[in-house]
Amino acid sequence: MRRSIPLVAAALGAALTLTACGGGAEPEAESSEPAAQETEAAGEGGLTIWVDETRQAAVEAAAADFEEETGTSVELVLKNYEDIRTDFLTQVPSGEGPDITVGAHDWLGELTTNGVVAPIELGDKASEFEEVAVQAFTYDGQVYGLPYAIENIAIIRNTALADSTPATWDEMIAKGRTAGTTYPFLVQVGETGDGYTLYPFQTSFGAPVFTQAEDGSYTSELALGGTNGQAFASWLKAQADAGVLSTSMTYDIAVEAFKNGESPYILGGPWMLGTFEGMDLAIDPVPSAGGQPAQPFTGVQGFFINAQSENQLLANDFLTTYMATEEAQIALYEAGDRTPALTAAADTVSSDPIAAGFRAAAENAVPMPSIPEMGSVWSFWGTTEAGIISGAIEPVSGWDKMVADIQAAIDAA
């Protein structure tokens, strides 16, 4: 579903070592600053940080400054991103693993349930981040991650084929048909469906997956059922009958078709941009199909602290002082084209109209639920949507059955 944009990693020199094990040298000197003395005392063995290739160079640069200013060693362990969550869950309970790891906010429910992550004290810095970024890493009233990037989907528009932002779904499809291309609009569905990508249209019918409390946190109460959910399911079938949605449209087919000028619009994220180099593009918010605001999911990337680490104060200081800077967050943006979570950095990169477009599209976005109950949703959700679109499932009864199946899975967990 999501595609990362690789970074040509820069070498930093001997200050940092890429290894597969933890540990490090003693601090060389103590600072006269009280706060620095406290964190160095807490970090007797230095820090070990898990990073993937995309984040490597940006974290190395921040770590080099940290080493120089505190005399505390930092070791980076290069990991495949796909392995990090499983390895972290396995190693931390046995006293192994890093002090800090990169990760995604939607891991939070599983990580907190297993007790492997520690809260982070952002203090006054919390107000310096985009609100949705801090909200995404908040669980039971505590913040468990230092956010650095926000990603969300939007309408990517080929300006050679469509010259204006569509206000509604119907307007977008009408403009797409007027363009005379093979497809009026492209969105991946596939045989297993894609609840994540179709979600903004679902919310525009007033059918979010879960209800949200006043503070924005998710409750375990399902909200995708009832007449609103049924209306969305019926809309899926109507769009399939109109030839707009199809289970034969996979990610790869959709991206290739858009690249070849076969549609003026595609629904997707910044991970697609590398494929569209050289095209004149604009980024538009997702238009409403059901009359209410279309709210795509926001995914927030960040850094977690190991709950078993003996260096938690040191790790907290590194993250809030060295990774929560405009310089560090812009470096991470340049590595992956995701909007920085730090507001000042997001303001800076928004001089690029593509970055500004994704940021504007995120104004109605909501964090992807990180509560454990979300794990019971995915398998039923996408396949039901695909069945409705293909005609194998009757929309209303099929959607109602999906809601009942999800509730039963949550109750049984």
Q: Write out the chain's pLDDT in tens, 413 residues.
A: 343 323 333 333 333 333 333 333 333 333 333 333 333 333 357 999 999 999 999 999 999 999 999 999 999 999 999 999 999 999 999 999 999 999 999 999 999 999 999 999 999 999 999 999 999 999 888 999 999 999 999 999 999 999 999 999 999 999 999 999 999 999 999 999 999 999 999 999 999 999 998 877 899 999 999 999 999 999 999 999 999 999 999 999 999 999 999 999 999 999 999 999 999 999 999 999 999 999 999 999 999 999 999 999 999 999 999 999 999 999 999 988 899 999 999 999 999 999 999 999 999 999 999 898 999 999 899 999 999 999 999 999 999 999 999 999 999 98
pLDDT value for 266: 98
Q: State which amino acid sits at residue 364.
A: N
C-alpha count within 13 angstroms, C-beta hemisphere, residue 137? 30
pLDDT value for 217: 84
What is the CA angle 331-333-337, rounded to 5?
145
Domains parsed from the chain with CATH numbers: 17-151+299-367 (3.40.190.10), 154-295+377-412 (3.40.190.10)
275: three-class secondary structure by DSSP: helix
Angstrom distances, CA of residue 124 to CA of 127, 128, 317, 401: 6, 8, 13, 46
Spell out a b/e string for 375-411, using b for 16 or more CB atoms within 10 Å of the CB, else e. ebbeebbbbbbbbbbbeebebbebbbebbebbbeebe
Answer for the pair 330, 352: CB distance below 8 angstroms, yes or no: no
Q: State which amino acid sits at residue 272.
A: M
Q: Describe the crossing of helices 226-241 and 378-390 by its angle, rounded to 10 degrees.
A: 40
What's the helix, strand, coil split of the chain in %, to 5?
45, 15, 35
User: Largest Cα–Cα distance in the chain?
Assistant: 71
pLDDT value for 44: 53
156: three-class secondary structure by DSSP: strand
CA separation for the pair 251, 254 (Å, rounded):
5
What is the CA angle 23-25-28, rounded to 5?
150
Answer for the pair 26, 74: CB distance below 8 angstroms, yes or no: no
**Numbers of helices and strands, H then E, in the chain:** 15, 16
